[in-house]
Amino acid sequence: MSGINIKTAGESHGQALVGIVEGIPSNLPLCPEDINKDLQRRQMGYGRGGRMAIETDKAEILTGLRWGKTLGGPIAVMIKNKDWANWEKGMSVSSEDEGAIAAVTRPRPGHADLAGAAKYNFKDIRNILERASARETTTRVALGAICKKFLSEFGVVIGSFVTSIGNVRSRELLSLSDSGILIELFNKAEDFKGDTVTVRTPSEYESEQMMCAVGLAAKDGDTLGGTFIVFATNIPVGLGSHTQWDRKLDGRLAQAIMSIQAVKGVEIGMGFHASTLNGSQVMDEIYYNRPKTGQFGFYRKTNNMGGIEGGMSNGMPIVLSAAMKPIPTLRKKPLKSVDLTSKEPIEAAYERSDVCAVPSCAVIGEAMAAAVLADAFLEKFGGDSIDETRANYHNYMNYLSEI
């Protein structure tokens, strides 16, 4: 029961979202702004629906922090739903409000609706969709931002950018072995347009193509998915372990990313493409430069393995890709479904939704990667205060420069 773990709670239209992250060392500087900037990044993105306007999410840190520094105990955050006034009866916890709004009985293909209603024995699908909604990821982003802040103390940068939307795909991304370039791509994806509503892809030309694709889908009442990269720089060699299946860093990252709503695929480094090449083409050969104190002398010129070999970080940037399916809630092209009660064929319910949420999903991917990496980091370095963890970290980095 050690390490960093995160738990979220809350329904999409409930009173508030709540989350707890445990295990962050003490004396880490932290402020709501550290969290809110990622909440905002999650909400932006070309293709998000109207709800984003309603919900300018702000996290309140309720516990675990005093005078701007962590206390070493669980940090609880709460994000109030701005729209709560409209849902107070419909999502009330009180039995007196039972029936205040009509039941949802038309399950939407591609959502948790049908499986959830069957599993949990509900006639009103709202009881499922409220928790299954990607709104839940707001809390993940909040908790992940705290994990990022912890990792940033060690120079770790976690970022993301969109690599495709629908069938518009970034041209080959090279040099994923270079932290500087990764960070530059990330910065471009973040800042490119001068305002914040972008598709979060590095190239201006492709960005426009992607926005165009989103616009067309919106016009058709259709939706689009896409792919994105999440990376982490400055991860020291040796996080995770080859010694047991559930200690491997790649597996833990894959779970974290695949657990995001609508993600259907995860890759480390070259991923599926590596399966098509010969062994002599994909390995990251090993080189050495006499290191400065606190550095690791061995390095690679390529990073096809995405920074992980044998279930451990190898000192190169961690690079993950993920595929998000298109959002299954279609405005104009309702999918065929069956009414839960009447068993009659019907059209699936339409809940207000986005056309494309890939730019947001990438931000959520950062949060999940941060949670896994922070856990693996603490597992290796131990420490209860940020100073102790740092001293242990430097112990190891100094040892690395001497092997």
Which residues, numbered 141-200, are part of the site for its own copies (CB under 8 A)? 164, 166-167, 169
Question: Of 45-53, 171-179, 197-205, 218-226, which part binds its own copies (CB under 8 A)?
Answer: 218-226
Q: Are 128 and 120 in contact (CB under 8 A)?
A: yes
Nearest-approach distance from CB 200 to its own copies, in angstroms: 15
Radius of gyration of the chain (CA): 22
DSSP state of 160: E
Q: Is 402 in the site for its own copies (CB under 8 A)?
A: no
Give the CB-side neighbour count of residue 15, counting CA atoms within 13 A. 5
With CB under 8 A as the contact rule, the residue among 44, 178, 196, 251 that binds its own copies is 251
The closest alpha carbon to 393, from 236, 234, 232, belongs to 236
> Between the CA of residue 334 and those of 2, 187, 190, 222, 345, what are the distances in Å?
47, 38, 34, 9, 12
DSSP state of 245: G
Strands 263-268 and 157-165: unpaired
Residue with tokens 């980095």: 397
Q: Are 170 and 201 in contact (CB under 8 A)?
A: yes
The closest alpha carbon to 355, from 48, 39, 65, belongs to 48
Q: Is 212 in the site for its own copies (CB under 8 A)?
A: no
Window 258 to 277, contacts with its own copies (CB under 8 A): 258-261, 263-272, 274-277
Q: Is 66 in the site for its own copies (CB under 8 A)?
A: yes
Q: Is 42 in the site for its own copies (CB under 8 A)?
A: no
Nearest-approach distance from CB 171 to its own copies, in angstroms: 15
Question: Of 34-42, 45-53, 61-69, 150-158, which part binds its own copies (CB under 8 A)?
Answer: 61-69
Window 325 to 354, contacts with its own copies (CB under 8 A): 325-330, 333, 335-338, 340, 343, 345, 348
Question: Of 42-50, 177-185, 203-211, 222-230, which part binds its own copies (CB under 8 A)?
Answer: 222-230
Question: Of 39-47, 65-73, 145-153, 201-209, which part binds its own copies (CB under 8 A)?
Answer: 65-73
| String of DSSP letters for 148-187 | HHHHHTTT-EEEEEEEEETTEE------TT-HHHHHHHHH
With CB under 8 A as the contact rule, the residue among 146, 257, 357, 370 that binds its own copies is 257
DSSP state of 59: E
The closest alpha carbon to 358, from 306, 303, 321, belongs to 321
Torsion of CA 51, 353, 253, 372, to 10 degrees: 20
With CB under 8 A as the contact rule, the residue among 44, 114, 181, 183 that binds its own copies is 114
What are residue 161's DSSP bridge partners? 229
Question: Of 147-155, 187-195, 203-211, 296-304, which part binds its own copies (CB under 8 A)?
Answer: 296-304
Q: Applying CB under 8 A, what is the total number of residues that bind its own copies?
A: 179
Nearest-approach distance from CB 24 to its own copies, in angstroms: 10
Window 359 to 388, contacts with its own copies (CB under 8 A): 368, 375, 378-385, 387-388
Nearest-approach distance from CB 122 to its own copies, in angstroms: 7
With CB under 8 A as the contact rule, the residue among 193, 247, 295, 351 that binds its own copies is 247
Nearest-approach distance from CB 44 to its own copies, in angstroms: 20
Nearest-approach distance from CB 274 to its own copies, in angstroms: 4
Residues 82-101 vs its own copies: string with x where CB under 8 A? ---------xxxxxxxxxx-
Burial track 359-393 (b if 16+ CB lie within 10 A, e otherwise): bbbbbbbbbbbbbbbbbbbbbbbebeebeebeeeb
